[in-house]
Structure 1
Amino acid sequence: MKLPNGYGSVYKLSGKRRCPYRAIVTERWLQDTNTSNWKQKRKTVGYYETKAAALEALAEYNRSPFDLGTSKITLQEVYDRWSEEHFSTVSESNVKGYRASFLLLQPIANKRFVDVTLDDFQYIADNSGKNFPTLRKYKVLVGLMCKWAVIHDIIPPDRNKAAYIDIKKAGNPNSYDRQPFSRKEIEKLWKWKDTNEYFKVILMLIYSGVRISELLDLKKENVNLSERWFDVTASKTQAGIRKVPINIKVLPYFEEWYNKNDCEYLISTPEGKHFDYRNYYDSYWKPLLQQMGVAHRPHDCRHTCVSLLAEAGVDERMIKKIVGHKGQGVTQQVYTHFEIEALIDAIDKI
């Protein structure tokens, strides 16, 4: 069957080759300055095992022509180029989340981006064993990478199928069922607080409602002990940027850590260095909780704070303001003295 003019062509190369069928298209016409004759400048779409595969590739190219240079870019290369541009515009916690999400894509990292399909992305999600919050970040990452690839003409707009990745049924059968600390467990923490200074860190988390990343990344310059509050300057969400009141019960522990050493961060390693989450979790959180005979994750402290505040009758809007939930709306960067006093009064009720 004769192909339409300007469509391109497929022909078989001589000799024994694994992919003998070559698909080519006319890139542009060039005029010879000496003879004034016009000649075609052709480019190769690809080499294929069968004629049918070559014709299919040619048809795909004509449906949405792509640049053959960019078509060789792998998913890994797209991530590298996208992250180089994007990471400087987001918080460190977001960067960590994107990096963790990209680890899920390692099985197809070396695949050409133009060859990655919705089924590929969906398969990764379905077989990741991750829970919904983790896969939500994964879906966001894929969407941003696809958008970048469209902008840079690596894939046509109709190939961006990230929005159709289904994560609603996602769930890790081994995932942890997060529960607040019970009253008895909190009492046990208070009894054991002097046996290890990192027990006090757990109490600081419970009585402030901050995320573990927010406390580990808290610098002393952002802590105001005399007025009993500290600034969270980097968070997972815009609502997380806030002033957090220091509960009177754990104020002594904030003071101890503040004056402990010369580390610029409030919470530090025994060597006086900034804590990496994995180091804190593996070396301190897990052993201490095992010592107590209980099972919790750091984020349970945040749930515990919310529960305690609610039980104490604190207004829901005030709770959201303390813990930095998205529902509190646009975060105010400037707090009045009255607002800070109200936050302190609320946190002291637990």
Structure 2
Amino acid sequence: MEIKLDHLQQVVDASGKNTPTLKTLKNLWSLMYDYAVIHEIVPPDKRDIVKYVDISKPGNPNSFDRKPFSKKEIKALWDAHESNQYLSVVLMLIYTGVRIGELLDLEKKDIHLDERWFYVKESKTDAGIREVPIAEKIVPFFEYWMQKECDHLICTPDEEPFLYRNYYDSYWTPLMQQMNMKHRPHDTRHTCVSLLTEAKVDERIIKKIVGHKGQGVTQIVYTHVDLPYKLEAINLI
């Protein structure tokens, strides 16, 4: 009852989140106020404050803190990956450029290991809907996880799908501490882009591999045409 428009706006302005997340947040608030009105917690006109929350200036202050894994760190991950099955997930993220949510949501039915690609059918952006090539060096990791009794590729020790928070708190954070590294999952995406750029891969191919939002709508097409070029590119790193 005491929440005012300024309070909601401060949450948005300080969140550092981008447009898709802010839209979800605003929708959540709308549902909360609908509930509050139905149960006579607030008067009907109170819920109108949500429509006036401005989400037109998204931003991510953490983006400047993101840094790619160094060559030394990548080598350390390769050297240690057999000690923990979840270290392979870090390398899979680095060599595919997918967002952590995209990998955790990936179902086995969308993986075509014989042709070395998988289909991301849900993403935070339209450009994220794409075919992702599988580099030869991480094929064994995909083969390993494909053997698990779970519909999703990456699963918990109980062979259940992961929720992001569970993965981040119980696996990512301890692994980074174990490896004496300070990285967030999104750093793997930056690493992939950096490695592809260093390998002099055409920027247009890089965007199609990682589903970068900078690509035009006409380029966002579910097609095999670009797959050979993507495979050639990803195997350079």
Counterpart among 188, 191, 197 of residue 301 in structure 1: 188
Q: Does the CA contact (< 8 Å) of 2:136 and 2:235 recur in 1?
A: yes
- Structure with the larger RCO, 1 or 2 (CA within 8 Å, 6+ apart): 2
Q: Distance in 1 between matches of 2:187 and 2:7?
A: 34
User: What is aligned with 2:66?
Assistant: 178
How many residue pairs get aligned? The number is: 223
Q: Distance in 2 between matches of 1:271 and 1:346?
A: 35
Q: Distance in 1 between matches of 2:91 and 2:196?
A: 15
Match status 1:203 vs 2:94: no
Q: Distance in 2 between matches of 1:164 and 1:270?
A: 39
> CA, structure 1 residues 284+141, in 2 after alignment: closer, same or farther (shift >3 Å)?
closer
Secondary structure at 1:209 match in 2: coil
User: What is aligned with 2:215?
Assistant: 328
Q: Distance in 1 between matches of 2:155 and 2:49?
A: 49
Q: Does the CA contact (< 8 Å) of 2:68 and 2:188 recur in 1?
A: yes
> CA, structure 1 residues 284+140, in 2 after alignment: closer, same or farther (shift >3 Å)?
closer
User: What is aligned with 1:133?
Assistant: 17
Q: Does the CA contact (< 8 Å) of 1:216 and 1:274 recur in 2?
A: yes
Whose Rg is larger? 1
The 5 Å alignment of 1:47-86 reads none
Secondary structure at 2:114 match in 1: coil
TM-score normalised to structure 2 length = 0.82
Answer 1 or 2: which has greater strand percent.
1
Match status 1:162 vs 2:53: yes
Gaps of 5+ in 2: 34-43
Q: Distance in 2 between matches of 1:138 and 1:303?
A: 23
Q: Distance in 1 between matches of 2:19 and 2:115?
A: 40
> CA, structure 1 residues 159+272, in 2 after alignment: closer, same or farther (shift >3 Å)?
closer
Counterpart among 15, 26, 39 of residue 142 in structure 1: 26
The 5 Å alignment of 1:1-350 reads 108=3, 116-117=4-5, 119-125=6-12, 128=14, 130=15, 132-133=16-17, 137-138=21-22, 141-142=25-26, 160-163=51-54, 171=61, 177-259=65-147, 261-330=148-217, 331-336=220-225, 339-350=226-237
Secondary structure at 1:230 match in 2: strand
Gaps of 5+ in 1: 1-73, 75-106, 109-115
Secondary structure at 2:118 match in 1: strand
| Pairwise CA distance, 1:284 | 1.1
Answer 1 or 2: which has greater helix percent.
2
TM-score normalised to structure 1 length = 0.57
> CA, structure 1 residues 347+155, in 2 after alignment: closer, same or farther (shift >3 Å)?
same
What is the Cα-based RMSD across aligned positions, in Å? 3.0
> CA, structure 1 residues 143+163, in 2 after alignment: closer, same or farther (shift >3 Å)?
farther
